Amino acid sequence: MRIRALVFDFDGLILDTETPEFRAWQEVFAEYEKDIDLSTWTDYVGKASEEFDPHTYLESLVGRSLDRVEIRNKRRRRNRDLLVAEPILPGVEACLFHGKELSLRIGIASSSPKDWVVPHLDRLGLTHFFDCIKTKDDVHKCKPSPDLYLSAIHDLDVSPREAIAFEDSPNGALAAKAAGLFCVAIPNSITEGLAFEMADLRLSSLSDFTLSMILQRLERRA
């Protein structure tokens, strides 16, 4: 087995955007004396945002139409305040540095839009690590469809078995495996209770393992 490329998910893997988003929505639901439970939320993590609409779900619980513009603006302000305090997730930057030292090609495959992913990467000073950035804007179907990963490895000029996907959600892991990549699952606080049987390797954090250790484990498994 020769690995030539690494492909990273973004939300929840490089930056924990999912916890702030969930907390902001929880606060919105609480204003209407309703609750959104974690199991409902995690079912859609890693998919395109159109597949689950919290506004519609809240209206179904309340039983009437709500001012979506007001809710959206309030939720976005709260989410922004929570998000700016979030650091790069542990071990990510070291893994990127190590990947470059090994002359690996590095990409992103995200179900979020490009105008969400790229500004965050710029703000965090990570954009220069990536040879390609594939988002929902580049494909017809997002995760768990394999299209994002197939598009990424095409641009990186590698075969599926020459690439490792790093994912934090089962939907993302399904997409990576459907595309034929090795998959390392690193669940976050939102997805840690979910099953990742499809992944080749599951880690509690990227900070616990060097990239060389991950490569060795996958080589033994292969």
Sketch the domain layout of the chain as residue ranges: 5-16+88-221, 18-83
What is the structure's pLDDT at 46? Answer: 53
Rounded CA separation 92/197 (Å): 23
What is the structure's pLDDT at 49? Answer: 53
Phi, psi of 133 (to 5 degrees): -130, 110
Enumerate the active-site residues: 9, 11
- In this predicted structure, the answer to whether residue 48 has a pLDDT above a threshold of 70 is no
Query: Which fold does the domain 5-16+88-221 belong to in CATH?
Result: Rossmann fold (3.40.50)
Q: What is the mean pLDDT of residues 40-50?
A: 64
pLDDT in tens, 168-180: 999 999 999 999 9
Q: What is the mean pLDDT of residues 175-195?
A: 93
What is the structure's pLDDT at 193? Answer: 86
pLDDT in tens, 73-118: 999 899 889 998 899 999 999 999 999 999 999 999 999 999 999 9
Q: If pLDDT is split at 50, 70 and 90, which confidence band does 19 have?
A: confident
What is the structure's pLDDT at 38? Answer: 82
